[in-house]
């Protein structure tokens, strides 16, 4: 997931459309306002009074924004704004659909938004899961971690119904590494938060530990704000996937901004978080897009656990952070 820079004309038209989408429920939520304001500062490079902007017709938007990639980015941004603070009403989904039709943008993001707006929760969750990182994780678990039996063991272990002592011992041994090593920081990430390692009862499938290595490498914590920003970072480096990382971001927004827990383990949900971390989210997407390695694509973390964290970040091309706050690791 990359962020393209619009021209002045594209920015002006796109901003009007974004505000129109955000107003569709009747009033712009604080979360959507903060998100659009951050986009103004960090993407559009404008400083417009959002309340003074006039609506724009779909045909006028299409005439101003002609680049296909920018059109797709704009529609994705409309979906994100619609999911900024709770479940959007059907009128908001219809507004996005009218703009998307004029821009000739189609795809699962629009269907997913429609399911959400129509309170078709099961279909919404199914769309989020099947279009994002979960199928990739299960495929990697099958291909690289024991086939059908490996998938079964991982899923049973996730539910606390089994254990793989040898695998767990390998992760537990990371405690013996020096404190500056990536593997030791990863060990602390698990133990300090009470997480179970792969192989331990309740442990996550090994094909999914890239998520937690991303926490350590990118420097984002496990608060709702940290998880939201991390979702942007992972979406950025998954840009070469069919969904360009969009559904990875929508996955975390579902939990922490829409208020629907789409995880199989139940982590709890809340609304509006994206509005509190709009600027760091934009930076995180850019940091992820600039990271040349897709850590979710069968990345061999074992080859890196003995590397000092600072060196691992440098060699993997993880850009430094410019925006810091409550979402960071100390």
Give the pLDDT band of residue 92 (cuts 50, 70, 90): very high
| Partners of 308 in the β-ladder | 181
Place of tokens 């495929």: 139
Phi, psi of 87, deg, nearest 5: -75, 125
**Closest C-alpha to 183, from 196, 170, 193, 195:** 170
Is the pLDDT at 277 greater than 80? The verdict is yes
Q: Kindly report the CA angle at 227 between 115 and 151, in degrees rounded to 5?
A: 75
What Å distances lie between residue 179 and 58, 175, 213, 219, 309, CA to CA?
56, 9, 15, 16, 9
Is residue 41 within 8 Å of 279, Cβ to Cβ? yes
Residue 303 burial by Cβ neighbours in a 10 Å radius (0-12, 13-18, 19+): exposed
The whole-number pLDDT of residue 330 equals 62
**Average pLDDT of 278-282?**
96
- Its pTM stands at 0.94
The whole-number pLDDT of residue 160 equals 67
What is the biggest distance separating any 2 CA atoms in the chain, rounded to whole angstroms?
63
The whole-number pLDDT of residue 148 equals 81
Per residue in 303-322, pLDDT (tens digit) is 999 999 999 999 999 999 98
SS3 61: helix
C-alpha span between 61 and 24 (Å, rounded): 17
Token pair recorded at residue 16: 């009007």
Q: Which stretches of the chain are assigned E, i.e. beta strand?
A: none
C-alpha span between 101 and 266 (Å, rounded): 36
**Closest C-alpha to 95, from 16, 24, 31:** 24
Helix 108-117 × helix 121-130 angle, to 10° = 160
Which range among 19-23, 85-89, 162-166 shows the weakest confidence by mean pLDDT?
A: 162-166
Average pLDDT, whole number, for the chain? 93
Is residue 295 within 8 Å of 133, Cβ to Cβ? no
Is the pLDDT at 27 greater than 80? The verdict is yes
Phi, psi of 328, deg, nearest 5: -90, 150
C-alpha span between 90 and 44 (Å, rounded): 28
Which of residues 29 and 134 earns the better pLDDT score?
A: 29
User: C-alpha dihedral over 47, 85, 78, 17, to 10 degrees?
Assistant: -50
The whole-number pLDDT of residue 177 equals 98
Q: Which residues contact 311 (CB under 8 A, 6 or more apart)?
A: none
**Closest C-alpha to 132, from 294, 249, 284, 255:** 249
The whole-number pLDDT of residue 326 equals 83
C-alpha span between 260 and 192 (Å, rounded): 26
Q: Which residues contact 176 (CB under 8 A, 6 or more apart)?
A: none
Spell out a b/e string for 140-160, using b for 16 or more CB atoms within 10 Å of the CB, else e: bbbeebbeeebbebbeebbee
């Amino acid at each position: 997931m990359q962020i393209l820079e619009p021209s002045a004309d594209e920015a002006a038209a796109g901003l009007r459309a974004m505000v129109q989408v955000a107003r569709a429920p009747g009033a712009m939520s604080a979360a959507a306002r903060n998100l659009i304001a951050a986009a103004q500062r960090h993407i559009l490079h404008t400083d417009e009074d959002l309340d003074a902007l006039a609506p724009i017709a779909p045909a006028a938007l299409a005439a101003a924004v002609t680049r296909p990639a920018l059109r797709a980015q704009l529609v994705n941004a409309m979906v994100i704004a619609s999911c900024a603070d709770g479940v959007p009403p059907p009128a908001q989904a219809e507004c996005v659909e009218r703009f998307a039709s004029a821009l000739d943008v189609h795809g699962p993001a629009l269907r997913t938004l429609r399911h959400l707006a129509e309170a078709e929760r099961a279909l919404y969750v199914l769309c989020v899961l099947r279009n994002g990182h979960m199928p990739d994780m299960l495929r990697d678990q099958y291909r690289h971690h024991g086939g059908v039996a490996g998938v079964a063991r991982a899923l049973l272990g996730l539910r606390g119904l089994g254990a793989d002592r040898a695998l767990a011992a390998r992760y537990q041994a990371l405690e013996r590494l020096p404190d500056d090593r990536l593997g030791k920081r990863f060990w602390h990430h698990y133990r300090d938060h009470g997480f179970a390692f792969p192989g331990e009862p309740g442990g996550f499938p090994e094909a999914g530990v890239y998520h937690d290595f991303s926490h350590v490498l990118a420097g984002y914590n496990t608060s709702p704000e940290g998880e939201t920003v991390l979702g942007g970072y992972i979406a950025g480096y998954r840009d070469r996937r069919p969904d360009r990382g969009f559904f990875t971001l929508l996955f975390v927004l579902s939990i922490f901004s829409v208020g629907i827990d789409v995880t199989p383990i139940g982590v709890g949900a809340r609304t509006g978080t994206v509005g509190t971390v709009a600027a760091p989210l934009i930076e995180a997407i850019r940091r992820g897009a600039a990271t040349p390695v897709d850590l979710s694509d069968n990345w061999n973390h074992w080859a890196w656990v003995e590397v000092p964290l600072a060196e691992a970040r440098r060699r993997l091309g993880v850009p430094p952070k410019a925006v810091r706050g409550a979402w960071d690791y100390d």
